[in-house]
């Protein structure tokens, strides 16, 4: 199978899932063509002869006040499909990827039908913000719905997202739930010189390490992480490590100053790899307002880190309350702080939760379990 993958190359869950799926498919012998305006962030695992990258070039012309990315992407898909004989295009994120894929499929429909007896197939994976945010941009709504309806296959990363898409937007399309995944050979606690240095530096007074990673959008409620941390810090020695960047970064730094915890909070900014930090962290916070899956929490769980999360969206499908972590109402920082302390102050309970978290990540969300579901779905759609 020759597969085109369309994704955002930037820091964010949808690009990570798309890239890691492509890497896994290439390792299984498929030819994978990434098509984007930049090399996807995680496409750095070394050379593979089954992986190709096609950069969408943006021409500048005085008449074009705005970049015509969707059209440039569609044109690039046409080119890659023709020259490489793609069987299907997997669009991660409805807007604009599924829309550009639709346009490309129509442009080459006659030619591909003549050559292969069928058109290229389009599979769109919904990641969440394409529905929950982009869908709320009212002018995008008809395009978003149309692009989903016209895809040959649609997947969503959680039951929550499937139901929300079908009910809120009256999308009749059948949607297959295929959750996000981690490679357990990569996502596990490691021990090396860096982790030893981190342990010595961060935990010299028995501090517990609390971690949050996100793109610092308002819906991530990173300020809640600071408030939860302050309450935990009042009771036990602890540090809060924040990975990622985005519009709320400055506000969060100011809040940490205002609440008097700045010296115990480290803002690392965007990091491509933070396995060392996952290896020394004790607890992961994800207090989001909205979260279709919560890939960052899954990565933490795989490393045996229990999760304190909100009950938003698909988070309860991942984080089991009282087993792999605890769940509280969105914004209930008191409860989240109480739950954090409950785990961090009781080693026996902590160890059980830590084991549950890594087992759940491995048993249900490992590459071996999830990637074959995509492969089967590809075959099903190609045969349809
Ligand atoms: O979390 C973000 O805002 C980034 C966003 C993205 O599209 O990259 O993440 C979404 O997709 C991830 C991968 O499927 C999910 O794990 C995240 O839960 C989802 N984010 C939201 O729903 C807010």
- The rounded Å distance from CA 296 to ligand 1 centre is 9
Question: Are residues 123 and 230 located together in one domain of the fold?
Answer: no
Name the residue at shortest CA distance from atom 5 of ligand 1.
Answer: 13
Q: Confirm if 312 and 290 have CB atoms less than 8 A apart.
A: yes
Compute the average pLDDT of residues 99-105. Answer: 98
User: pTM here?
Assistant: 0.94
- Measured between alpha carbons, how far is residue 63 from residues 58, 68, 71, 208, 225 in Å? 13, 11, 15, 57, 46
Half-sphere exposure for 229 (CA within 13 Å, toward CB):
33
Question: Are residues 156 and 114 located together in one domain of the fold?
Answer: yes
- Tell me the pLDDT tens digit for each residue of 18-42: 999 999 999 999 999 999 999 998 8
Which of 132, 243, 293 to mutate to test ligand 1, by most ligand atoms within 8 A of the CB atom?
Answer: 293
pLDDT in the model for residue 222: 98
The C-alpha angle 178, 180, 185, rounded to 5 degrees, equals 125
Task: Using a pLDDT cut of 70, give the percent of the chain over it.
Answer: 98
Compute the average pLDDT of residues 356-373. Answer: 98
Residues listed for the chain: 384
pLDDT of 134 > 70? The answer is no
Q: Confirm if 281 and 209 have CB atoms less than 8 A apart.
A: yes
| Alpha-carbon gap, residue 20 to 15, rounded angstroms | 8
188 in a domain, yes or no? no
Question: Are residues 176 and 48 located together in one domain of the fold?
Answer: yes
Surface-to-core class of residue 117, CB atoms within 10 Å of its CB (0-12 exposed, 13-18 middle, 19+ buried) = exposed
Kindly give the number of the ligand 1 atom that is closest to the alpha carbon of 290.
Answer: 23
- Domain span at residue 123 reads 2-180+366-383
185 in a domain, yes or no? no
Surface-to-core class of residue 18, CB atoms within 10 Å of its CB (0-12 exposed, 13-18 middle, 19+ buried) = buried
- The rounded Å distance from CA 307 to ligand 1 centre is 17
Q: What DSSP letter does each residue of 33-47 carry, written as one string? A: EEEESS--TT--S--
Question: Are residues 49 and 153 located together in one domain of the fold?
Answer: yes
Question: Are residues 170 and 206 located together in one domain of the fold?
Answer: no
- Tell me the pLDDT tens digit for each residue of 214-242: 999 999 999 999 999 999 999 999 999 99
Question: Are residues 265 and 375 located together in one domain of the fold?
Answer: no
The position carrying tokens 């030619």 is 111
151-155, 167-171, 268-272, 316-320: which has the minimum mean pLDDT? Answer: 167-171
Confidence of residue 333 (pLDDT cuts 50, 70, 90): very high
Question: Are residues 278 and 356 located together in one domain of the fold?
Answer: yes
| Alpha-carbon gap, residue 328 to 344, rounded angstroms | 17
Q: Please say whether the dihedral angle defined by the alpha carbons of residues 83, 87, 89 and 90, taken in this order, is positive or negative.
A: negative
Question: Are residues 269 and 329 located together in one domain of the fold?
Answer: yes
Kindly give the number of the ligand 1 atom that is closest to the alpha carbon of 292.
Answer: 22
Q: Confirm if 97 and 76 have CB atoms less than 8 A apart.
A: no
C-alpha 122: how far from chain center: 21
pLDDT in the model for residue 10: 85
| Alpha-carbon gap, residue 242 to 245, rounded angstroms | 9
Phi/psi for 158 (5° steps) reads -155, 160
Question: Are residues 137 and 55 located together in one domain of the fold?
Answer: yes
Instruction: Quote the mean pLDDT of the chain.
Output: 94
- Tell me the pLDDT tens digit for each residue of 45-99: 778 899 999 999 987 777 777 789 999 999 999 999 999 999 999 999 998 999 9
Question: Are residues 107 and 117 located together in one domain of the fold?
Answer: yes
Domain count, the chain: 2
Surface-to-core class of residue 47, CB atoms within 10 Å of its CB (0-12 exposed, 13-18 middle, 19+ buried) = exposed
Kindly give the number of the ligand 1 atom that is closest to the alpha carbon of 132.
Answer: 22
186 in a domain, yes or no? no
Question: Are residues 149 and 20 located together in one domain of the fold?
Answer: yes
First to last CA, the chain: 15
Which of 10, 292, 297, 298 to mutate to test ligand 1, by most ligand atoms within 8 A of the CB atom?
Answer: 292
- The rounded Å distance from CA 128 to ligand 1 centre is 6
Q: Confirm if 330 and 285 have CB atoms less than 8 A apart.
A: no
Q: Confirm if 356 and 324 have CB atoms less than 8 A apart.
A: yes
**Tokens, residue 221:** 């409620």
Surface-to-core class of residue 134, CB atoms within 10 Å of its CB (0-12 exposed, 13-18 middle, 19+ buried) = middle
Kindly give the number of the ligand 1 atom that is closest to the alpha carbon of 161.
Answer: 22
- The rounded Å distance from CA 130 to ligand 1 centre is 9
Kindly give the number of the ligand 1 atom that is closest to the alpha carbon of 217.
Answer: 3
187 in a domain, yes or no? no
33 in a domain, yes or no? yes
Question: Are residues 154 and 303 located together in one domain of the fold?
Answer: no
333 in a domain, yes or no? yes
Rg value, the chain, Cα: 22
| Alpha-carbon gap, residue 115 to 85, rounded angstroms | 10
Kindly give the number of the ligand 1 atom that is closest to the alpha carbon of 93.
Answer: 7
Query: Where does ligand 1 bind, in terms of residues with CB under 6 Å?
Result: 12-15, 17, 127-129, 132, 157, 180, 215, 217, 219, 290-295
164 in a domain, yes or no? yes
Query: What CATH number is associated with residue 211?
Result: 3.40.50.2000
98 in a domain, yes or no? yes
């Amino acid at each position: 199978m020759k597969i085109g993958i369309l994704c955002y190359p930037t820091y964010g869950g949808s690009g990570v899932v798309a890239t890691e799926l492509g890497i896994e498919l290439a390792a299984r012998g498929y030819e994978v063509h990434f098509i984007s305006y930049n090399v996807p962030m995680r496409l750095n695992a070394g050379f593979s002869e089954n992986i190709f990258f096609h950069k969408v070039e943006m021409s500048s012309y005085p008449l074009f006040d705005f970049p015509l990315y969707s059209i440039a992407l569609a044109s690039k898909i046409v080119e890659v499909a023709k020259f490489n004989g793609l069987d299907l295009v997997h669009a991660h994120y409805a807007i604009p990827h599924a829309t550009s894929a639709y346009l490309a499929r129509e442009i080459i429909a006659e030619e591909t039908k003549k050559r292969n007896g069928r058109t290229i197939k389009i599979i769109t994976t919904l990641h969440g913000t394409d529905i929950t945010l982009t869908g709320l941009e009212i002018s995008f709504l008809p395009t978003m719905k149309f692009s989903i309806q016209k895809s040959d296959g649609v997947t969503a990363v959680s039951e929550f997202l499937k139901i929300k898409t079908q009910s809120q937007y009256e999308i009749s399309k059948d949607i297959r739930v295929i959750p996000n995944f981690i490679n357990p050979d990569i996502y596990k606690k490691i021990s090396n010189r860096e982790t030893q240095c981190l342990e010595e530096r961060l935990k010299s007074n028995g501090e517990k390490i609390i971690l949050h990673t996100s793109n610092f959008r308002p819906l991530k409620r990173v300020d809640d992480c600071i408030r939860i941390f302050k309450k935990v810090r009042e009771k036990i020695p602890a540090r809060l490590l924040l990975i990622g960047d985005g519009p709320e970064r400055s506000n969060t730094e100011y809040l940490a100053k205002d609440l008097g915890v700045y010296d115990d909070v480290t803002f690392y900014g965007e990091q491509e790899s933070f396995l060392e930090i996952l290896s020394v962290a004790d607890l992961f916070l994800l207090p989001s307002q909205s979260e279709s899956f919560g890939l960052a929490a899954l990565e933490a769980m795989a490393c045996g880190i229990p999760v304190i999360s909100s009950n938003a969206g698909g988070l309860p499908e991942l984080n089991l309350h009282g087993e792999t972590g605890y769940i509280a109402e969105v914004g209930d920082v008191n409860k989240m702080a109480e739950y954090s302390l409950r785990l961090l102050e009781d080693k026996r309970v902590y160890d059980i939760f830590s084991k549950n978290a890594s087992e759940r990540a491995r048993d249900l969300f490992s590459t071996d379990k999830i990637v074959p579901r995509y492969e089967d779905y590809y075959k099903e759609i190609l045969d349809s």
